[in-house]
Amino acid sequence: MSGKQSFYITTPIYYVNDIPHIGHAYTTLACDYLARFKRLDGYDVMFLTGTDEHGQKVEKSAAAAGKTPIEFCDQVSQRFRELAKFMNFSNDDFIRTTEERHKRACQALWKRLEENGHIYLDKYAGWYSVRDEAFYGENELIEGEAQKNGEREKLAPTGAPVEWVEEESYFFKLSAFEEKLLAFYEEIPPTVMPQSRKNEVKSFVEGGLRDLSVSRTSFKWGVPVPGNDKHIMYVWIDALTNYMTAAGFPDEDSEIYKKFWPADIHMVGKDILRFHALYWPAFLMGAGIDPAKRVFAHGWWTNEGQKISKSLGNVIDPFQIVEEFGLDQVRYFLMREVPFGNDGDFSRQSMINRINSDLANDLGNLAQRSLSMIFKNCDGAMPSPGALSDADNAILAQVDGLLPEVRAHVDVQSIHKSLETIWKTVSDANGYFALQEPWALKNTDPDRMATVLYVTAEVIRQIGILIQPIMPDSAAKLLDQLKIPEDERGFDHLCGDHRLASGTAIDKPEGVFPRFVE
């Protein structure tokens, strides 16, 4: 392992009960953007995704599909691997909770909690939702429309059906962690973001915590409790442990564990905030292990203003939209359109507007026009700049100063702001280019034309480097056209010490961002 700073980011592991949809692509894309950014910024990065394959719901779904649970999991897990490849995600590992290394980690964590006196055997009687794999208190239930025995059916707050369960169960002493959790939420830098999510989870803890049932005996598809295999571990202890499994746990002396644990960011959808920001840190505190440094819960997408649901038939298939609009275009839209952390609406028109204005008009047009002029008017080679004017120095200073500004947004997961900041410079560079009128200078002052073209190309070089995390393929095409060597594309090659080399021959440029025409 190198002496570089480390950065460990995780997606939630995706439940194999469903095929991949836009929500899965969105969460993993956010992690991919942050992981790629940190690699370019000189960090040793570990980026994990994978599939959650245990629990009663999987057992039932497999039976309904006429498959064994593992056959069912193999099939669906493979689709998530295919999505990762298709979306050009740069994950370093893909974990499945059915792997032997994971079973080992879960049982080691359980034993640690037991040894520390945080787990005890009792009986569970209460409401359980198979769909949510969650237990709910009577006060959390809502009434459904359907009648049952003359009364309205009880539902989980998510709208999922619940059933009354009575069985022997192991319990985790969650009630003992109220104060520790509340202190954890107040740490700086923030451990739960955005602020609204922190408030939500804090308020839940302040309402009082009950001990949590952490085992089941009514099904078999899961990790057996060590020493009592009549019991299967509660699926959320099993699922959450994946983050440590991939970091080498239970071997806490391993290089990978020492380097990457605790994780820097667990990225999750807001629906699983409680599990990640309450149960998971409590389990780890109980085991004497440092919790992750941050849980970030993002919002949900709607489709043309409507809630996305199978019953409405408006589920957005990431494979389909990429086929229609292009991979980097979809990646850019998803991260740029909505303040990250908020809910967002997917609309075709918004997608087309972003592609045509930000990509084709702003960046694509600037690159195509300036590089074509260099190719035609500067003997197909990067020109030598003359004395720089105030306008030249201003736009160069702006692009030279971008990295710290963009990094500050990335470090608080304000992904949309990081892209907005880059595109402000793209827009200003367009303004600079239009004002300097290099096409007119061709006849009146060719030396000045050469300087303007050089300055514009240098801005494009730095923009090309900065957009690699969001649009890796398009950025590579842009940097290839400028003949930037592979080993000069890291963030350490931004700013004034690494300007474009004059005299470098370039090929005839080709458009990188075509307009979308319906």
Sequence ranges of the domains in the chain: 6-115+236-325, 119-212, 348-498
Average pLDDT on 91-113 reads 98
**What pLDDT does residue 132 have?**
87
pLDDT in tens, 285-304: 999 999 999 999 999 888 88
Q: What average pLDDT does the chain have?
A: 95
Domain 6-115+236-325, CATH? 3.40.50.620
List the beta strands (DSSP E) in 330-469.
344-346
> For residue 24, is pLDDT > 60?
yes
> For residue 311, is pLDDT > 80?
no
> For residue 66, is pLDDT > 60?
yes
Percent of the chain with pLDDT over 90: 86
**How does residue 206 score in pLDDT terms, banded at 50, 70 and 90?**
very high
Average pLDDT on 211-223 reads 94
Cα–Cα distance between 171 and 402 in angstroms, integer?
A: 51
**What pLDDT does residue 52 have?**
96
pLDDT in tens, 425-461: 999 999 999 999 999 999 999 999 999 999 999 999 9
Instruction: Tell how far CA 35 is from the center of its chain.
Output: 9
Residue with token string 């919002």: 299
**What pLDDT does residue 348 have?**
93
**What pLDDT does residue 315 have?**
82
**What pLDDT does residue 148 have?**
63
Average pLDDT on 469-484 reads 98
Residue 269's DSSP bridge partners are: 298
**What pLDDT does residue 135 have?**
84
Average pLDDT on 192-209 reads 97
CA neighbor of 396 nearest in space, from 498, 256, 506: 498
**How does residue 144 score in pLDDT terms, banded at 50, 70 and 90?**
confident
**What pLDDT does residue 408 have?**
98
**What pLDDT does residue 19 have?**
79
**What pLDDT does residue 146 have?**
67
Tell which wins on pLDDT, 133 or 515. 515
**What pLDDT does residue 306 have?**
84
> For residue 305, is pLDDT > 90?
no
Tell which wins on pLDDT, 357 or 144. 357
**How does residue 1 score in pLDDT terms, banded at 50, 70 and 90?**
low
Say if residues 383 and 477 touch (Cβ distance below 8 Å): no
Average pLDDT on 319-347 reads 95
Beta strands 6-10 and 265-269 are: parallel
Encode 27-41: b = buried (16+ Cβ within 10 Å), e = exposed.
bbbbbbbbbbbbbbb
**What pLDDT does residue 80 have?**
95
**How does residue 3 score in pLDDT terms, banded at 50, 70 and 90?**
confident
Encode 249-275: b = buried (16+ Cβ within 10 Å), e = exposed.
bbeeeeebbebbbbbbbbbbbbebbbb
Q: H or E element: which one contains 203?
A: helix 195-206
Torsion of CA 199, 204, 209, 213, to 10 degrees: -110
**What pLDDT does residue 149 have?**
61
> For residue 147, is pLDDT > 90?
no
> For residue 354, is pLDDT > 60?
yes
Cα–Cα distance between 500 and 514 in angstroms, integer?
A: 26
Fold type of domain 119-212: Methionyl-trna Synthetase; domain 2 (2.170.220)
Cα–Cα distance between 214 and 35 in angstroms, integer?
A: 33
Fold type of domain 348-498: Isoleucyl-tRNA Synthetase; Domain 1 (1.10.730)
